[in-house]
Amino acid sequence: MDREELGKMKLEALRLLALEKGIDEARSLGKVEIIDRLVPKGIVERAKEAVAHAVEVVEEKAHEIADKVLHHGEHQGAAKADGQTAHGETADSETADGDVAAGDAAERKATVKKPAHPSNGFGVPSMTVHPHVDHGPREPLHMLDFEELPETYGVDECEVLFRDPFSVFAYWEITDGGVSSARAQLGQSADSSRLVMRMFTTVPGVEGVDRQIHDLDLPWNHGKRYLQAPKPGAHLRVAVGLLSGEGYFAPIAHSSLVRVPPAEPQPGPVEWMQVIPPKTRGRTREPLVVVRRGGDHAERGVRTPEQHAESGHERGGSSPTAKSGSQTYPFGGSSPGSSPGRRDGSK
Amino acid sequence: MGSGDLALVLHAHLPFIRHPEHRYHLEENWLYEATVATYLPLLDVFRGLARDSVDFRLTISLSPPLCTMLEDDLLKTRTAAYLDRLCRLGDSEMRRTSGDPTFHRIARFYADRFGHLKALYDELRGDVIGAFRALQDDGLLEIITVGATHGYLPVIREPSARRAQVQVACESYQRMFGRWPRGIWLPECGYTEGLDAVLAECGLRYFFVDAHGILNARPQPPLGIHAPVFCKTGVAAFGRDLESSKQVWSAKEGYPGDGVYRDFYRDIGFDLPLDYIGDYIHPDGIRVHTGFKYFRVTGPDVDLANKQPYDPDAAKERAATHAGNFMFNREKQMQHLSAHMDRRPLVVSPYDAELYGHWWFEGPWFLDFLARKIAFDQSTVRLSTAAEYLEENTTNSVAEPSPSSWGDGGYSSVWVHESNDWIYRHVHRAEARMHELARRWKDGTDDITRRALNQAARELLLAQSSDWAFIMKTATAVKYACDRIKTHLARFRRIDRELTAGWINAEWLADLEARDNIFGELDYRVYA
Q: How far is A223 from chain B (nearest CA, A)?
A: 9
User: Which residue pairs, CB below 8 angstroms and at least 24 apart, start in B281-286?
Assistant: B282/B24, B282/B26, B283/B23, B283/B24, B286/B26
Contact between residue B136 and residue B142 where contact means Cβ atoms under 8 Å apart: yes
* List of chain B residues whose C-beta atoms are within 8 Å of the C-beta of residue A335: 212
* List of chain A residues whose C-beta atoms are within 8 Å of the C-beta of residue B247: 323-324
CB contact under 8 A, A319 and B328: yes
Contact between residue B258 and residue B308 where contact means Cβ atoms under 8 Å apart: no
- For A18-32, the three-class secondary structure string (H helix, E strand, C coil) is HHHCCCHHHHHCCHH
Confidence of residue A55 (pLDDT cuts 50, 70, 90): low
- Amino acid at site B190: G
pLDDT digits (tens, 9 = 90+) for B205-231: 999 999 999 999 999 999 999 999 999
ipTM: 0.94
| pLDDT over threshold 80, residue B263 | yes
Partnered with residue B398 across adjacent β-strands are A271, B230
pLDDT digits (tens, 9 = 90+) for B141-155: 999 999 999 999 999
DSSP letter at B400 equals: B
CB contact under 8 A, A163 and B411: yes
pLDDT greater at residue A116 or residue B493 = B493
Q: Report the candidate in B6, B88, B56 with the shortest Cα–Cα distance to residue B351.
A: B6
Contact between residue B279 and residue B84 where contact means Cβ atoms under 8 Å apart: no
Q: How far is A305 from chain B (nearest CA, A)?
A: 9
pLDDT digits (tens, 9 = 90+) for B450-470: 999 999 999 999 999 999 999
Residue B474 has its nearest CB partner, among A127, A136, A344, at A344
The percentage of chain B sitting over the pLDDT mark of 90, rounded to a whole number, equals: 97
| pLDDT over threshold 90, residue B5 | yes
Residue B242 has its nearest CB partner, among A173, A284, A333, at A333
Confidence of residue A316 (pLDDT cuts 50, 70, 90): very low
Q: Which of B188, B196, B354, B368 is catalytic?
A: B188
Q: What's the alpha-carbon Rg for chain A, to the nearest Å? A: 33
Q: Which of A32-36, A102-106, A297-301, B188-192 has the highest mean pLDDT?
A: B188-192
Confidence of residue B27 (pLDDT cuts 50, 70, 90): very high
pLDDT digits (tens, 9 = 90+) for B319-364: 999 999 999 999 999 999 999 898 999 999 999 999 999 999 999 9
pLDDT digits (tens, 9 = 90+) for A141-168: 666 677 889 999 999 999 999 999 999 9
CB contact under 8 A, A270 and B355: no
Confidence of residue A20 (pLDDT cuts 50, 70, 90): confident
Mean pLDDT of chain A: 68
* List of chain A residues whose C-beta atoms are within 8 Å of the C-beta of residue B192: 162, 258-259
pLDDT greater at residue A207 or residue A64 = A207
Q: How far is A238 from chain B (nearest CA, A)?
A: 14
Active site residue B21: no
CA atoms within 13 A on the CB side of B322: 28
> For chain A, how far is it from start to end, CA to CA, in angstroms?
43
Q: Average pLDDT of A175-196?
A: 96
pLDDT of residue A30: 76
CA atoms within 13 A on the CB side of B11: 24
Contact between residue A243 and residue A215 where contact means Cβ atoms under 8 Å apart: yes
* List of chain B residues whose C-beta atoms are within 8 Å of the C-beta of residue A270: 219, 221-222, 397-398
Residue of A nearest to B405 (CA): A341
| pLDDT over threshold 50, residue A121 | no
**What is the spatial distance between Cα B131 and Cα B51, in angstroms, rounded to a whole number?**
13
CB contact under 8 A, B332 and A169: no
pLDDT of residue A129: 30
CB pairs under 8 A between A and B: 326
Mutate which of B16, B21, B380 to test chain A, going by most A C-beta atoms within 10 A? Answer: B21
Mutate which of B398, B424, B473, B491 to test chain A, going by most A C-beta atoms within 10 A? Answer: B398
Q: How far is B378 from chain A (nearest CA, A)?
A: 15
Q: Report the candidate in A31, A39, A34 with the shortest Cα–Cα distance to residue A10.
A: A31
| pLDDT over threshold 70, residue A219 | yes
Confidence of residue B235 (pLDDT cuts 50, 70, 90): very high
DSSP string, B206-257: EEEE-HHHHHT-BSPPTTGGGS-EE-TTS-EEEEPPHHHHHHHH-TTTSGGG
Q: Average pLDDT of A42-70?
A: 64
Active site residue B352: yes
Confidence of residue A139 (pLDDT cuts 50, 70, 90): low
Residue of B nearest to A172 (CA): B425
Residue B274 neighbours by CB distance under 10 Å: 10
Q: Of A69-73, A231-235, B124-128, B394-398, where does mean pLDDT reach its minimum? A: A69-73
Q: Report the candidate in A148, A343, A146 with the shortest Cα–Cα distance to residue B476.
A: A343
Confidence of residue A126 (pLDDT cuts 50, 70, 90): very low
The full set of domains in chain A, from first to last, is: 3-86+99-145 (no CATH), 157-259 (2.60.40.10)
* List of chain B residues whose C-beta atoms are within 8 Å of the C-beta of residue A174: none
The full set of domains in chain B, from first to last, is: 4-245+344-369+381-392 (3.20.110.10), 423-527 (1.20.1430.10)
Q: Average pLDDT of B83-107?
A: 98
**What is the spatial distance between Cα A289 and Cα A174, in angstroms, rounded to a whole number?**
46
- Amino acid at site B329: N
β-pairing, A271-276 vs B395-398, is antiparallel
Residue of A nearest to B199 (CA): A288
Mean pLDDT of chain B: 96
